[in-house]
Amino acid sequence: MKPIYVTQPTLPPLEEFIPYLEKIWDNKMLTNGGTFHQQLEQALCDYLGVKHLALFTNGTIALITALQALRITGEVITTPYSFVATAHSLLWNGIKPVFVDIDPVTLNLDPNKIEAAITPQTTAIMPVHCYGYPCDVARIQQIADNYNLKVIYDAAHAFGVKDKNGGILNCGDLSVLSFHATKVFNTFEGGAIVCPDEKTKCRIDHLKNFGFVDEVTVVAAGINGKMSEINAAFGLLQLKEIDKALAKRKIIDARYREGLKNVTGIRCTNVGEHVANYAYFPIFVNPPNSLQKGGIKSRDTLYEKLKTNGIFGRRYFYPLISDFPMYRSLPSASPANLPVARKTSNEVICLPMYPNLENEQVDFIVSLIIEFLEDF
């Protein structure tokens, strides 16, 4: 069996992409807001139900720019249970991350812990819609309003996600998407910022193009965050098939859940009423005897067993961001401050999840997990 990785990009037929490339070659416009760039921005606004959206070369540059656009300084409350880009975007802006523990069910920033972390230096909250599961946006907004804080959502996992009130990308002051090749919707590399109004989008568009307003006018110390025409063209093709891809992901999610529902020592996320996009399939490994001889975690032993059999899952997110050298000296990074995040990080494995994953492959993965726990 060929190796099975945690994610695999969905590629359109090459013959469908070639006409787009021919148009790019014909008009000689490779970047700087060309035809395909403009078309993709509008198409994404229509699909996602947002008013304004600015495309970026990747999600990390988009996060850095979002913080610049809102002129965030001082301290920002965020989660330790995420990809490092979340916190790195703060450091790149000279902002101090303040880590707060996560909710044990949603795995998102715990609203009950936020207020205790607010200081006179706090200017914003940066929650993450982890695995595409929506944060408690109403509670977070209420706290932000009470303390006059901005809210920037790292929505890298949350393409097309809704909660009971509708699309979540309109929540907060800004939402930032990633279109990396491993994401539900991708443009090879890419990202976007969802903006509440035209004025904010205009400022963000200036910032992502070195601060240029016109040929001779620079109004801010911007960066080069522009998406190329090739990436935008690829995104337009991807968008045509996105609903089919999401439907396939939902079926795979259900098959995993059915196969693992009675397996002692394995916990799956409880999505509940949330409308997820099935971006990931995390499991949490915690059998009755969670440590083997020598103190080796059962999660890591299962992780290695899967790898030996050609199943390359990922321990998203292990270690915690707060454990890395540039963050672990912060008072908020103390393990005692983050018990839920630490437990979750020590138990998680994200299993392969992508539209072309076959039923036989899912069943094989499930059988390996069951075999491991029977022998444990």
Q: What is the per-residue burial (b if ≥16 Cβ within 10 Å, else e) of 334-352?
A: eeebbebbbebbbbbbbbb
pLDDT of 50 reads 96
Beta bridge partners of 53: 194
pLDDT of 295 reads 45
Residue 96's Cβ-side half-sphere holds a number of Cα atoms within 13 Å equal to: 16
Please report where in the chains the tokens 């450091």 appear, as a residue: 91
pLDDT of 272 reads 63
pLDDT of 289 reads 66
- Rg of the chain over CA atoms, in angstroms? 21
Cβ-based burial of 168 (10 A; exposed 0-12, middle 13-18, buried ≥19): buried
Give the contacts of 249 (CB within 8 A, at least 6 positions apart): 184, 277, 278, 279, 353, 354, 355
| pLDDT tens, N- to C-terminus, the chain (376 residues) | 689 999 988 788 899 999 999 999 999 999 999 999 999 999 999 999 999 999 999 999 999 999 999 999 999 999 999 999 999 999 999 999 999 999 999 999 999 999 999 999 999 999 999 999 999 999 999 999 999 999 999 999 999 998 877 889 999 999 999 999 999 999 999 999 999 999 999 999 999 999 999 999 999 999 999 999 999 999 999 999 999 999 999 999 999 999 999 999 999 998 665 578 999 999 999 887 665 544 457 999 999 999 999 999 999 999 999 999 999 999 999 999 999 999 999 999 999 999 999 999 999 999 999 999 987 6
> What pTM value is reported for the model?
0.96
Is 250 strand, coil or helix? helix
Q: What angle do CA 203, 118, 116 make, to 5 degrees?
A: 145
Which residue segments constitute the domains of the chain, with CATH numbers given? Answer: 7-240 (3.40.640.10), 242-375 (3.90.1150.10)
CB count in 10 Å sphere of residue 116: 8
* Cβ-contact 124, 153 below 8 angstroms: no
Of the candidates 236, 238, 177, the one whose C-alpha atom is nearest the C-alpha of residue 41 is: 236
